[in-house]
């Protein structure tokens, strides 16, 4: 909501001049439910093979609108001799939580991460990392500026990064005029 959707919403306001755009954020299961129940017209979701719950089947249309990656960041890189690294984790209900957990399980020598905080907001995790509370995996689109400004450090090497897609999803049925125009205006990546 803070990165790709914010830019897209600004473009929609310029191009389509809609009245009120409603942006709701929640866990993937919640947003998928809103879409299926007609409480939302469009859903923006992370996509990666290890994310178990995702829109599937003929009922949905999807298009990739961006590519991003989760990067391990902290205010200071952990010392190589550190026995444990304070870890800022995503709440289990979030897709990014499962994505990071799956990635860590696949590492030949997993880092000794000690969870010290769990949160359901990437924005909040960014703030906690900036305060030096620990290491977390954040979308580069969110953390990149802080890294470029030297406020955060990317830890370890590129093998610890997790690439993913950002997808726009809708039901296959006809939507209202504004939602159809928004769907058509969304760039493909």
pLDDT at residue number 126 = 98
d(CA 175, CA 189) in angstroms, rounded, equals 23
Segment of 72-86, 118-132, 155-169 carrying the highest mean pLDDT = 118-132
Read off the tokens for 141: 């689109």
pLDDT at res. 81: 83
Query: Could you read off the pLDDT of 99-139 as tens digits, one per residue?
Result: 999 999 888 766 689 999 999 999 999 999 999 999 999 99
pTM: 0.88
Q: What is the pLDDT of residues 170-189, one digit of tens each?
A: 999 999 999 999 999 998 86
| CA distances, 37 to each of 22, 31, 54 (Å) | 16, 10, 15
CA distances from 96 to 17, 80, 120, 121, 159 (A): 33, 26, 10, 10, 17
How high is the pLDDT of residue 17?
A: 84
């Amino acid at each position: 909501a803070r990165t790709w959707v914010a830019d897209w919403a600004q473009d929609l306001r310029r191009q389509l001049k809609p009245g009120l755009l409603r942006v709701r954020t929640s866990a993937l299961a919640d947003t998928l439910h809103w879409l299926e129940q007609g409480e939302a017209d469009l859903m923006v979701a992370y996509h990666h093979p290890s994310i178990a719950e995702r829109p599937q089947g003929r009922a949905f249309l999807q298009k990739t609108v961006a590519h991003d990656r989760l990067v391990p960041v902290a205010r200071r890189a952990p010392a190589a001799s550190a026995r444990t690294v304070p870890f800022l984790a995503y709440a289990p209900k979030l897709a990014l939580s499962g994505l990071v957990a799956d990635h860590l399980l696949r590492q030949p020598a997993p880092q000794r991460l000690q969870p010290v905080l769990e949160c359901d907001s990437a924005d909040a995790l960014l703030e906690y990392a900036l305060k030096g509370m620990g290491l977390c995996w954040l979308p580069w689109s969110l953390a990149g500026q802080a890294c470029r400004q030297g406020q955060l450090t990317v830890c370890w090497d590129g093998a610890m990064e997790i690439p993913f897609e950002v997808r726009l999803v809708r039901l296959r049925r006809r939507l209202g005029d504004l939602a159809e125009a928004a769907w058509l205006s969304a760039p493909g990546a």
